[in-house]
Amino acid sequence: MHSLVQKLISDRLVGFLIVVDFAVIFAMGFPQFGAETRAAFVLVDAFCLCFFICEAALKIKYLSWTTYWSNRLNRLDFIVLLVALPSLLAPFVGVNLIVLRFARYLRLIRVFRFIPNLEHLLVGARRALKASVGLCMGLAVYALVLGAVACQLFGQVAPTLFGDPLMSTYTMFQVFTIEGWHEVPRAVIATMEPSALGIFGVRAFFVLSVLTGGVIGLSLTNAVFVDEMMMDNNDPLERKIDALTEEVIKLRAEVGHGRDGGEPPSSLDE
């Protein structure tokens, strides 16, 4: 029985069914399939979900809840399964509720568990998020401030872009991304009265916004995030440096002891 359980929860079988479930859920989005084919997809999808529930139950039974929950991938699987449970009600409810569809497609996240070194990536991403949360909050506040200012300046001439503070903040965030930022000032200039000073002011405002929010703000946040993600790559070098430092300390201690004992100085002293 124990060997059978090991085969049922083996990574090879679980991985195969995750790929099958992924393919079935992905295929459900194509309207070209007929009703019979879609019904077969639903049955396969329900079977895979039931198998994953049994897999989690067997792991919890044979590994203990503490051991099971200590693994990050197991926690991710368990949470996804809890969210996906309502999708089993879809054939009985008879209504294609958005929450049931969301629960079904959320299970595609389980494919990520087969990414190489996923545990390492999750630890790095968590550390990077903690390090960059302050910069992200500062950038969000800056976007809100510029959005409020832009709403007052351009709300009348370009209501579709700056009609209210939230819409204006969203437009300014688009400007921060730099992609197509020049289209926003062009749209503002096209709707305002021609004035050399006004046109210069609009261009200066958006150039300053791009430089401070896009080039500096987003680039700095991205640099901090990437630096924290890559920090673990220096661990082997740091361990070698620590070991070399210990060897140097030991060597110095031996040389000092030799001097105290009246031994002739080594070539290092010379």
Q: What's the CATH class of domain 2-114?
A: mainly alpha
Distance CA 173, CA 147 (A): 8
Beta carbons of 186 and 154 less than 8 angstroms apart: no
* Cβ atoms within 10 Å, residue 91: 11
Distance CA 243, CA 238 (A): 9
CA 4 to chain centre: 36
CATH 1.20.120.350 residue window(s) in the chain: 2-114
Topology of the domain comprising 120-229: Helix Hairpins (1.10.287)
Instruction: Tell me: pLDDT of 148 over 80.
Output: yes
Q: Highest-confidence range of 92-96, 102-106, 154-158, 204-208, by mean pLDDT?
A: 204-208
At 206, phi and psi to the nearest 5?
-75, -30
Mean pLDDT for the stretch of residues 134-148: 90
* Cβ atoms within 10 Å, residue 253: 10
Global pTM?
A: 0.55
Instruction: Dump pLDDT digits (tens) for 175-215.
Output: 998 877 889 999 898 888 777 788 899 999 999 999 999 88
> Residue 46 — pLDDT band, cuts 50, 70, 90?
confident
Instruction: Dump pLDDT digits (tens) for 216-248.
Output: 888 888 888 777 777 665 566 667 787 788 888
* Cβ atoms within 10 Å, residue 146: 23
> Residue 144 — pLDDT band, cuts 50, 70, 90?
very high
Of 80, 59, 57, which is closest to residue 11 (Cα–Cα)? Answer: 59
CATH 1.10.287.70 residue window(s) in the chain: 120-229
Of 221, 209, 227, 234, which is closest to residue 153 (Cα–Cα)? Answer: 209
